[in-house]
Each structure stands twice: as structure tokens, then as C-alpha cells.
Amino acid sequence: MLRVSKYTIVVTTLVLMTASLVMAQAPQKQSQAEMIARLQQLQKELAELEAAAAAVQAPAKVAAAPQAGQRGAQAPAPAQQGGRGQAPAAAPAQTPGMPPGMVMPAGPTGGDPNNPEGLPADSTNPQALLDRIKLLEDKIRYLESNVVLTDPETRVRKKTVYVDKNGIEYDQPTAGAKKTVTYERERVFRRNNINEKIEEALSDAEEHHVQVGVNAGIVSQFAHRTKGDALVQDDGTVIKDNKAYMLASADLFFTAGIAQNTIFFADIVGLSGPPPDLELGTLSLVNGYSARLVNQNELNLREAWLRTELFSNKLALTAGRLDLTNYFDHNVAANDETSQFISDALVNNGALGLAENGAGVAIVFDPKGGFNFKAGFQQSSHTATNLSDSIYSLAELGYVTRLPGMGEGNYRFWYRTDNTKGTGYNIGFGTSIDQKLGPQVTLFGRYGESQANPERDKFYSGGFQFAQGLAFYPGDKWGVGFSQIDPVAGGKEQLVEGYYNFSIAEKFNLSFHVQHFIEADGGAKRGYLVPGIRLQASF
Amino acid sequence: MSKSKRFLAAAGLTASVFGLAVGLLGLAPKSVARAAEVKVADPTSVVMIVNRDSNDIAFMDIKTKKIVGKTFLGNNANPHMVMMSPDGRYVVTGGTRANKAFIIDSHTLELVKIIPVDVAPEHLAFSPDSRWYYQGNPEGDSISVIDMQSLTKIKTIPGFAEPLNVTFTPDGTKAYIGNYGAHWVGVVDVRRHELMKKIQIAAPPGTAKLDPGRYLGELHGINIATPTPDGRFLYAADGALGMVGVIDTREDKVIKTIQVGKDPWRAYMSHDGKYVVIPNNGDETISIIDTSSNKVAATLEAGPGMVGVNFAAGKAFVISSSSGFVYVYNMSSLRPAGRIKLGTNVQLETATTDTADQKIYLAESTTNEVVIIDARTEAVERVGNVGLYPWGTHIMDSKDNYCH
Amino acid sequence: MYTRTPITVGVRSSKSVQISKNIFGFLLLTFLATPSLYSQGIRERIRETAKGAKISAEQAKDVTLTVSAVEERPIQQIVRTGGTIDKTHKIVTATITTMEGGLIKVDQRARSFPPESKGSMYQARVTRVSPSAGKTVVEATLSGEGVEGRVNYVLEVTVDRGTYLCIPNEAIIEEGDHRIVYVEQKDGAYLPVKIETGIQGELYTQVLGGIESGNKVVTFGSFFVDANHKLKGGG
């Protein structure tokens, strides 16, 4: 017979009710078996991740582009362990370190790095199991975020180390060790996709190889005498009227980056065809391309120089065979005979007096703050037997400003000396100005004086350029210009030119020119109207 | 004790214990706030850093310059741009590889929601009332609309051509989408989340057919329609055409086109709204447009690969990504004011400006650093180990929050 | 009046305990009911499969039907006012004449902008609060310098009211003197529920009664659901 007191029944009911509440409200509490299963799963994931990381870290053939090129081949800052996800390069198959601030329990007692506490496999301590689960989850999370499972990039970086008298290298300042700079290879993991990798490889290849460019132009001109008698040359030849001329020019230039901030440049030019300058007898060149002409149908090394930049790229030094006027007497609206005016008198200052290229040095100081200073010298005669007998030197001060109500303006002042004539140093000075009157209109002007004892030869030029939409097509530009040369020795030239440049394609331009020259010699005046077409292609 | 009294005592004990169990097990209606640790008490006090390769968003305290927390988004997420919602509650980012949007609690830095979006999400924007998060998906040619109240994606707006950036009007009724794969700006009705119209900035010139390499090759269209501070006008630069179109937002039409340099990247508005700076990557210049006359006020020499412009201390700082230089310009005189060299062979990414317009926080991905530039003195300070491949930075309510 | 019927549990002894049928029944019922009550969840209490508005999947997509959970969230209120900036272009002074002035405290986060250009948004901090009869004068200092030439500024002070059980404002439908929301049911229907509300924030409103944490209420598309429900004779 079962004797059950009512109190027992009440208490039993109470216990049952409480137990059911606990079971209903705590479905998330894991059983021990579940915890152990989770633990095993995490250990398996961790092992897989570490194995994959070890496979990546093992010395292996690296990608063909050892440096990342434009994306930064040499990082100046020292590598921080853990910060860049770099596994230690010294030991392959090494487990990456723990997340910062995470304390690893005491060293392995059971020989299993995944079980540093040496818990037996059948541990029944729930809290210990939970702690282990958390530790493993944190470790996996760290690995997943910091171990990049892609091919590593290798790059070289500058590193500061400390070397003692025995040649032992230390990473930290050490007594008796001297601070020095060295270079070391490091592996960097990047999550680049294949397109980015290809782009990096291509731009890296571009930076480390010679780049070749072509600049080709054909100028066809026609000369019609508008004033005066026909010109008679020294040998008695009478220059007939209404003749056509054509000059083809091809520039092949090479550029190569040979060191940090240092490039090599070479320009080979070939010209063919008769320009009008051979017959018209003008004081300045009708076709500005003729300035490059030495002998027809011959290749000529026009320029070959090395250029490097120093002091945070503020100072540029160029040395070699160069054209000093490439660095001086610039003008935004009238500087380039291949795309602007074709008359030499409108793209150069007649008072500069530099006839040919030669060996020399150019220094440009430009902190990009508005002021710039340039200086240079070069050999000015190819027949001179030493540099001292034909040295041409030039210095220029430039300033960028913005006048109220107008756009930006460039103001340049130069001074030069030249002893080519063998009669001492011949000096000259001048200015080149271009000022934006508005977004579409640029006013330009040049003035120069050249010593011609006892007086001075004078040169003037000026005009306007119209662009930025004030044309048929967006890339087109056109201009009008005037120049006058007053040499002391006699003669005088006045020139007017107008041109329109069609921007047909990004690499192809077509322009039309009309020039009118008036040459005065003594009391006689002779005038020429020279219309022309220019085709210019550049690659 | 009598039997009845003993029974009552037992019943009372039962009820008491039961009630105690109820209370201990938390069966009462949940009225206790979540006990998650608050890592960022003030959302305006941090700079957010997008770390592309470590797949996280780092939060750096502006005053101490220490990383106070990071939110890991998941493997291969590749976050691109991060933004704080205008109400300071959430931080959001799109994971370009994951095709997902990530919502982070701005105080606890916990990842609260992951929302699948379209292909390769990049840039994003919030409506001014913090209600809508528009995530641009350039590869998917769509915009994902995420409701920030329910934290769900409610719509995907199709019909774009590489949508790169979103600009909301100040009243939040419309959004303008820059299409980098086209020459038009899309106008979206924010009430219905529909593409209403396409505003063409300019037509390619007649000579375009003679230059297929340029016009049929990779198209550099419109990155963004940049608003004036009053929201009345937008400036949209078209890279292929070398033009900036000025759009009147009241009538949704182009009122003027302004020719600038070659391959303009995008327009950046100065904080006072007087000038727009356009970096022209095709000829390494910048064009500065005067917004009062809508004319180019100055064209100045700059550097290669320009990816951003920040304004601070009366100057414009133009980031030349591959050269390692930041070009500086005086915005009063519109003249060059030098350049700051940040390193050799480094890759500069984008930057944000603090709300006092004094400091610029620039991400430098080569060295995994954030470079802090004092705009007044141009002194440079570096904070290292911010994460792997920092791609961009963001400060809440900064006037220079952008991405490339 | 009922009569107790003594139950004898398997004994014939005179000493066997006689347990009241009623007490045993009550305890047994409580024991059985307890786990089912809590394991099913509170949501089950309000399930009514027959009376909710039913929306098809296509309709839901058309109206972009969105539901949002009833849960604990921080409620932010934004107190808006207008003021003027001082000559230093740094300090905005504004006056609040409503009860909201009492919510403003020093060091609260604020945003300010000239009404003519909302894009020129400035971060600010409340630096002084001066309550007086019927109004509160607030000073906020901008983190940067204000736009030159602009005098009038809008000031928005963010007041964190605390974390409460709340729903998005958009979920609430005003009906006369009470407020309802549509709660999603297990069978996909939506049932109107009258609620009591408390603090109303910028995006969320505190819920004081009527619904519980974990419920899902319709936010986007609530008017459509309401219309659908009323058309079918509900409410």
C-alpha cells in the first residue's frame, strides 16, 4: 500500500513545475555532448585554416611582377606584425599569432597547441568547454580576417636597422650598434582580383621598359607674293611666285625610367621636303618645323638627356644633348608649332638667338607654389671645339598669378648670354606672358632685346587664342597673332598669322593657317601670303 | 499546526517558489536594455576607416587617434565606402565582393544586419531624414533601396548604366544618380523609388565617329551630380566629353555646359559653395568653376591620377593617388600653394575632412595608415595599423565624405 | 456547493491519505499547462486565423509591404528651432517656447544649417541652456565656422530619450482617438491591434501596451492593409 502525504504531493508538483519552466525557457543551453561536438568542429576548422595558411607561406615561385608598380613597390614604413596580416617570413608552416590583447593560456601540457590547458578529451567541465569554444572561435575569426588565402606579393622595402661592430643586425636600438638603412623583401597579402593583378603587372612593365612615342607632321604651304619685286638670291636666281612647298617631319622619342625620379629621354627626328624658308628669304622661319632641319632625308639626334628630381621633386636636373628653349620662354597660347601657330616668330622669341641644340644642363626649381626659377647652359655651335667657346646660358623667373576678374596668368622674365660669335658675351633679355582674359580667351605676348652693339635688336609678338568651346568642336582651338622683328643690322619683318586647329581625334589634328609676311630691306618692301595645311599625328 | 494550516503553508510555499522561478528565468516582459558594450558613445567623435582587405570597418577616436573598435564583416566582403546615418544610429557599408550591405550599430559597433543587394555594391548615400539607404551597384546597373527603420531591402531600382554615386536633394524627395557608363544623370522619385527621368549632360561631338578608340572604348561618363549647398544646382562632370553640366533641380534640366580639361574625374564643391573644383586626369590639371557665373575661373597644373579633393583652412587639397603628392591651392586667390609629399611609391586613396575644417584624414593603402594633415600648417601625422588596405575614411557630417 | 469526493490512492488502509480531488486537479492542470503555455510563446495568445486582413504575395510586392519587429531600440527626438549666429560665426542662439525646451541639456549633440543651404550642415554642441518663464534660450557652438553672409540658422538638437520597446512611426494608424497597428500573424494575415503609446521620437514611438516584444507590425504599406481590412468588413 502506498502512503503519500499531501505535502509530498505538493512539493513534488512544485519541483515538476519548476523543472518544466526551466526546460521551456532555456532551450539554448547546450548539452555537454553538443559542446564537445562543437569543440571538435572548431578544432577541425582551425586545422584546415592553419594548413591553408601554411601552404601559402611556404617558399614558392612568386608572380612575375615582383613589385607592385604604381600601387607602391617600396613602402617606407616599417612592417607591423599582425597589422598587415603578414605571416612571419622566416618559418614556413607557422601558425599566425593571436589577436592583440588576447592572452593564450599556459603552454601546452598535452602537446596539442589546440588544447593548451591539456583538457582530456572527455572533460566534463562545462565552463571549461565553453571557454575552449570561445577561444577557438576567436582564433578562427582572427585567422579568417587576417590570413589572406591568396598568392602573396613580394616587395622590397626600406628598413632601419642597428648594426654593431661585429656585423650583427638588430631591429631595435642597441648599445654599441649603429643605425643604418637596409632593404629587405617582404610578403604582402592583397585581396586583388584578377583584373587588378593584370593592371598592376602591365603598369609595372610599362614603368620598367622603354616607352616609344611618335610625333609625325606634314605641312603643305603655298606662297603668293603680294607686294614688291621677286626676290633675287645671291647667285642671281630669281624666286618665282606662286610656289607650293611641303615639309614632312617625324619625331621618334624614347622614354625610360631608370631610377627613382630619374628618366632618360631621346628624340630622333627626320625631315623631308622643301620648306618655303629656303626661298622666301624671311627674317624668321615661315614653317617652324624648319628649325629642326639640318639635312633633308637624314635622321638627326635632336635630344638625348637624363633628368632627375631632387628635394621632394622640387628641383629637376636635366643634362645631355638638349634644346634649352624647351625649358624657357614657354607660353600657353603660342609655344608649339605642331598644334598652335606655325610661324617660328610666334612660337619662339626672336631675341633668344639660339640656333641649334647642343650638350648642356638645365635646372628647374618649381615648388608648385606659383614661383619657379630656371637656369641652364648649352653648347650653341656644333663647330666649336670646346664648350667654353660656344656657351649659351639662360636664366628665367616665372610667376603664376590670377588678376581680379580674369583667369590665371603666367609671367616669365629671362636673361641670356652667348659667346658663340667670338666677340665676347652677347646678352639678351625678354619676357613671355600669357593671361586668360576669360575661360575661352587667352592673351599672349612676347618681347625681347638682343645686344647688337651699340644698339639692340628688338622683337615683339602678341595675339589671342580662342578655345574651350568658342569653336566648332569642343577640342578645337584657333588664334591670331602678330610679330615684328627690328634688327639693328637692317631690315624689318612684320608677320600676321591666323590658324584654326580641328581636333579630329585624340591623336590626330588638322589645322589651317594663313600667314602674311612683310619684309622691309632698305626702302623696298616685299610681302608674301602663305596659306597652309598641317596634319599632325601623335602616339 | 492544524492540517489546513499546513496545507495552506505548503500552497503558499509553492506559489512563492514558482514566482521566484518566474522572476529568475526572466519570464516577465523584457524591459531591460541589451547589455552590449558601448564602444562609441558619441558618433561624432570617431573617424571610420574602410579596410578593404581585412574586411572590416575600423573606428578611430579623433582626439586620441587610437582605434577604439573594429567591426569584422566576413570573409571576402571587400567593403568599399562607409557612411554614418545622419541620425548617428547606424554605420553602413557595401561589400563589393560579397554583394551585400552591412549595417553596424554605431554605438556598440556590432554588425546588426547583413542584407543581400545587387552585384558589386560600391558607393552609397542616405536620405537626409535617415530613412533610406541607397546602395549603388555599378556592376548590377541598379540601386538597392534599404529601409533603415525595418533594416530591410524594399526595392531594387533597375535601368542605370554603372551607377556610381547618389545625391539626395535636401528635402529628400529626389535622388540624382551619376552613371559612369553613360552620359546622363538619373532622377529617382524617392517616394516611389523609381527612375523618373534621364538628364543628358551633352551629346558626343560629330567627330566622335572618327575616333572609335576614344568613344567606343572604356566609357568614362558621369561619376556624380554634386550639389550646391542649397541643393538648387548640380554639377555633373562627364569624363569622355570633357564637360561639366549644370543641372537646375527645380526643372531637372541642364542650364549650362562648361568645357573643362581632359577626362574630368568629378566635381567637388567648396564648403562655401563658391567654387567647384574638377580634377582633369587627362591633362593633369584642375579646373576651378565659379558657381556664380558658371565659368572656369582658373585652370591650374596638378598631378596624375587624382582621386579626391578636400577643402580645409581656406585651401583645396587635391589627392594625386599614384604620385604620392597632395597638391594644395589657395581658394581665395585661386593660385597654387605648393604640394605635400606623403611618400615615394605609395598609393593614396581618399580622405575626409573634420567638421571644424581643420584636419584631413587620408587613407594610404600601401602602408596601411591614415595620414592626418593639418590644413593650416600642412604638418603630417601618421596613424599606422588601421587595418589592411584602408580604402577610405568618413566622419559624420563632414562636408567632404566621398569615395573613388 | 460541491461535495468533496475523497480519492483513495491504491490503499485500503484506514491510514491512507485522502487528497482533495479539486486540489489535485488544480495542481495537475497547472503542471500540464505551464510548459505548453511558455513553450508556445505569448504570440499564440493573440492568434486569430479567421479575422485578419489577408494580402497576397503579389499585392505585398506591389505596395512593398514591409514589417518591422517590436523591439527595444533607442528613441531619439529632434528638437528643432531657429536662431541667429553671432559675429564669430560660431555660436547659434535660439529660443524654444514649447515644452520641448525642458529636454535640452548642455553637451547634447546638435546640427545647424542656414535655411537657404541645407547642404551646409554643421555639427554643434549645446553649450548653454537658460530656461526662463515660458521659454528656453539655447546656445550651441558649431564645430566649424559658419557660412559668411548667413545670419539665420536652423538648429536641430538630438535628444536621446532612452531605450524603450518601440515601433516605427510609420506603423501607427490614427483612428479617431486611438491608435492601431497591423500585426503579422502566423498564417500571413494582418490583424489590427489597438495600442497605447508613449514617447514619440523622430523615427520610433514607444509602446506602452497592446503589443509585445517580438510581434511584427506593418510599416510600409500599412494604409493598404488597413484599407483591405476595412473593405472586407473588418474593424
- The verdict on a CB contact (< 8 Å) between C10 and A1 is yes
Burial group, residue B341, by CB count within 10 angstroms (0-12, 13-18, 19+): middle
- The verdict on a CB contact (< 8 Å) between C111 and B397 is yes
Grid coordinates representing B401 are 565624405
DSSP class of residue A232 equals B
The confidence score (pLDDT) of residue A157 equals: 65
Strand partners, A315: A310, A365
For residues C156 and C97, state if they share a domain.
yes
| CATH at A534 | 2.40.160.10
Mean pLDDT (whole number) for B349-356: 96
- The verdict on a CB contact (< 8 Å) between C203 and B354 is no
Tell whether C223 is covered by a domain: yes
- The verdict on a CB contact (< 8 Å) between A474 and B25 is no
The reply to whether B76 touches chain A by the CB within 8 Å rule is yes
Considering only residues A97 and B284, tell me which one the structure prediction assigns the higher pLDDT: B284
CA distances from C211 to C151, C173, C194 (A): 47, 14, 8
B171 chain-C contacts, CB cut-off 8 A: 118
Tell whether A271 is covered by a domain: yes
The reply to whether B339 touches chain C by the CB within 8 Å rule is no
- The verdict on a CB contact (< 8 Å) between C64 and B155 is yes
The reply to whether B355 touches chain C by the CB within 8 Å rule is yes
Angle between helices A32-57 and A126-146 (to 10 degrees): 30
Cis peptide before C35 (omega within 30 of 0): no
pLDDT in tens, A495-517: 999 999 999 888 899 999 999 99
Which residue stretches of A432-539 are H helix?
none
Of A9, A15, A18, A187, which to mutate for an interface test with B (greatest number of B Cβ within 10 Å)?
A18
Mean pLDDT (whole number) for A1-7: 58
Grid coordinates representing B167 are 545625391
| CATH at C107 | 2.40.30.170
Which residue from B386, B352, B390 is spatially nearest to A191, judged by alpha carbons?
B390
Distance CA C69, CA C91 (A): 41
Distance from CA of C135 to the nearest CA of B (A): 26
The confidence score (pLDDT) of residue A505 equals: 86
For residues C94 and C70, state if they share a domain.
no
- The verdict on a CB contact (< 8 Å) between C170 and B31 is no
Tell whether A82 is covered by a domain: no
Distance CA A468, CA A318 (A): 33
The angle formed by the CA atoms of residues A496, A499 and A504, to the nearest 5 degrees, is: 170
pLDDT over threshold 50, residue A102? no
B288 chain-A contacts, CB cut-off 8 A: none
Residues 6+ apart with CB under 8 A from A27: none
Grid coordinates representing A270 are 627626320
The reply to whether C39 touches chain A by the CB within 8 Å rule is yes
Distance CA C111, CA C91 (A): 12
The confidence score (pLDDT) of residue A171 equals: 81
- The verdict on a CB contact (< 8 Å) between B231 and C117 is yes
Q: Which residue in this structure is represented by grid cell 603643305?
A: A220
Local structure of B251: helix, strand or coil = coil
Tell whether A254 is covered by a domain: yes
B325 chain-A contacts, CB cut-off 8 A: 313
The confidence score (pLDDT) of residue A3 equals: 55
Proportion of chain C above pLDDT 70, given as a percent: 77
Which residue from B206, B245, B216, B283 is spatially nearest to A503, judged by alpha carbons?
B206
B241 chain-A contacts, CB cut-off 8 A: 474
Which residue from B187, B215, B207, B190 is spatially nearest to B199, judged by alpha carbons?
B187
DSSP assignment of B107-142? TT--EEEEEE-SSS---EEE-TTS-EEEEEETTTTE
Is A134:A142 a contact under the CB 8 Å cutoff? Answer: no
Domain with A359 in it: 213-538
Angle between helices C21-40 and A6-25 (to 10 degrees): 10
Domain with C67 in it: 46-74+163-231
- The verdict on a CB contact (< 8 Å) between B299 and A407 is yes
The reply to whether B294 touches chain A by the CB within 8 Å rule is no
Chain B: residue nearest C170 by CA?
B149
Is A70:A172 a contact under the CB 8 Å cutoff? Answer: no
Is A350:A334 a contact under the CB 8 Å cutoff? Answer: no
pLDDT in tens, C104-158: 999 999 999 998 888 888 999 999 999 988 899 999 999 988 888 889 999 999 9
pLDDT in tens, B360-393: 999 999 999 999 999 999 999 999 999 999 999 9
Query: What 3 state SS string does A90-128 have?
Result: CCCCCCCCCCCCCCCCCCCCCCCCCCCCCCCCCCCCHHH
Is B215:A505 a contact under the CB 8 Å cutoff? Answer: no
Query: CB-CB: which of A3, A10, A20 is closest to C34?
Result: A20
Q: Which residue in this structure is represented by grid cell 561589400?
A: B95
At residue C220 the predicted structure's pLDDT band, cuts being 50, 70 and 90, is confident
Is B377:C165 a contact under the CB 8 Å cutoff? Answer: no
The reply to whether C22 touches chain A by the CB within 8 Å rule is no
CA distances from A435 to A440, A525, C228 (A): 11, 34, 71
Distance CA A336, CA A215 (A): 13
Q: Return residues 10-49 of B near A (CB < 8 Å).
A: 10-11, 13-14, 17-18, 21-22, 25-27
- The verdict on a CB contact (< 8 Å) between C19 and A6 is yes
Chain A: residue nearest C20 by CA?
A6
DSSP class of residue A238 equals B
DSSP class of residue A25 equals H
Counted across chains A and C, CB pairs separated by less than 8 A come out at 43
The confidence score (pLDDT) of residue A419 equals: 81
Q: Return residues 50-69 of B near A (CB < 8 Å).
A: 52-56
C9 chain-A contacts, CB cut-off 8 A: 2, 4
C118 chain-B contacts, CB cut-off 8 A: 128, 170-171, 229-231
End of a domain among C162, C177, C206?
A: C162
How many folded domains does chain C comprise?
A: 2
Is B245:B260 a contact under the CB 8 Å cutoff? Answer: no
- Candidate from A147-151, A400-404, A410-414, B238-242 with smallest mean pLDDT: A147-151
Local structure of C185: helix, strand or coil = coil
A370 chain-B contacts, CB cut-off 8 A: 335-337
At residue A124 the predicted structure's pLDDT band, cuts being 50, 70 and 90, is low
- The verdict on a CB contact (< 8 Å) between C13 and A25 is no
How many folded domains does chain A comprise?
A: 1
State which amino acid sits at residue A75. Answer: A
Which residue from A199, A157, A191 is spatially nearest to B387, judged by alpha carbons?
A191
End of a domain among C140, C162, C184?
A: C162
Tell whether C226 is covered by a domain: yes
Distance CA A187, CA A94 (A): 14
Neighbours of C86 (CB within 10 A): 14
Chain B: residue nearest A191 by CA?
B53
Mean pLDDT (whole number) for A217-224: 94
For residues C54 and C170, state if they share a domain.
yes
C121 chain-B contacts, CB cut-off 8 A: 397, 399
Strand partners, A238: A232
Counted across chains B and C, CB pairs separated by less than 8 A come out at 96
Distance CA B389, CA B369 (A): 8
Q: Which subunits have 3 or more CB–CB pairs within 8 Å of chain B? A: A, C
End of a domain among C109, C139, C162?
A: C162
- The verdict on a CB contact (< 8 Å) between B128 and C118 is yes
Q: Which subunits have 3 or more CB–CB pairs within 8 Å of chain A? A: B, C
Per DSSP bridges, beta strands B233-238 and B243-248 are antiparallel
Tell whether A129 is covered by a domain: no
Tell whether C137 is covered by a domain: yes
For residues C136 and C184, state if they share a domain.
no
Proportion of chain B above pLDDT 90, given as a percent: 81
CA distances from A105 to A50, A108, C53 (A): 19, 8, 58
State which amino acid sits at residue B186. Answer: G
Distance CA B307, CA B323 (A): 11
Distance CA A147, CA A21 (A): 45
The confidence score (pLDDT) of residue B27 equals: 46
Residues 6+ apart with CB under 8 A from C121: B397, B399, C111, C112, C113
Grid coordinates representing A235 are 647667285
Q: Give the dihedral of Cα atoms A270, A274, A280, A282; nearest 10 deg.
A: 0
- Candidate from A43-52, A300-309, A442-451 with smallest mean pLDDT: A43-52
Distance CA B287, CA A163 (A): 51
Q: Classify B37-395 by CATH class.
A: mainly beta
Task: Supply the ipTM of this predicted assembly.
Answer: 0.80
A3 chain-C contacts, CB cut-off 8 A: 11, 13, 15-17
- The H or E element containing residue B285 is strand B285-290
Considering only residues A28 and B12, tell me which one the structure prediction assigns the higher pLDDT: B12
| Chain centre to alpha carbon of residue B334 | 27
Distance CA A58, CA A156 (A): 18
Distance CA A400, CA A408 (A): 7
Distance from CA of C40 to the nearest CA of B (A): 13
Is A320:A313 a contact under the CB 8 Å cutoff? Answer: no
Is B137:B117 a contact under the CB 8 Å cutoff? Answer: yes
At residue A111 the predicted structure's pLDDT band, cuts being 50, 70 and 90, is very low
Tell whether A434 is covered by a domain: yes
For residues C130 and C153, state if they share a domain.
yes
Distance CA B137, CA B142 (A): 5
Distance from CA of C133 to the nearest CA of B (A): 31
Burial group, residue A185, by CB count within 10 angstroms (0-12, 13-18, 19+): exposed
CA within 13 Å, CB half, C119: 20
Grid coordinates representing A481 are 597673332
- The verdict on a CB contact (< 8 Å) between B272 and C148 is yes
pLDDT in tens, B254-275: 999 999 999 999 999 999 999 9
B88 chain-C contacts, CB cut-off 8 A: 109, 158
Provide the b/e sequence for A428-466 (b: ≥16 CB within 10 Å). bbbebbbbbebbbbbbbbbbbbbbeeeebbbbbbbbebb
Distance CA C83, CA C94 (A): 4
* Model-wide pTM > 0.80: no
pLDDT in tens, B124-165: 999 998 999 999 999 999 999 999 988 999 999 999 999 999
- What are the structural domain ranges in chain B? 37-395
Tell whether A171 is covered by a domain: no
Grid coordinates representing B44 are 561624432
Neighbours of B294 (CB within 10 A): 17
Tell whether A466 is covered by a domain: yes
Torsion angles phi and psi, residue A463, rounded to 5: 165, -165
Mean pLDDT (whole number) for B180-202: 93
Which residue stretches of A77-234 are H helix?
126-146, 194-208
Torsion angles phi and psi, residue B296, rounded to 5: -75, 120
Distance CA B65, CA A322 (A): 51
B273 chain-C contacts, CB cut-off 8 A: 117, 119-120, 147
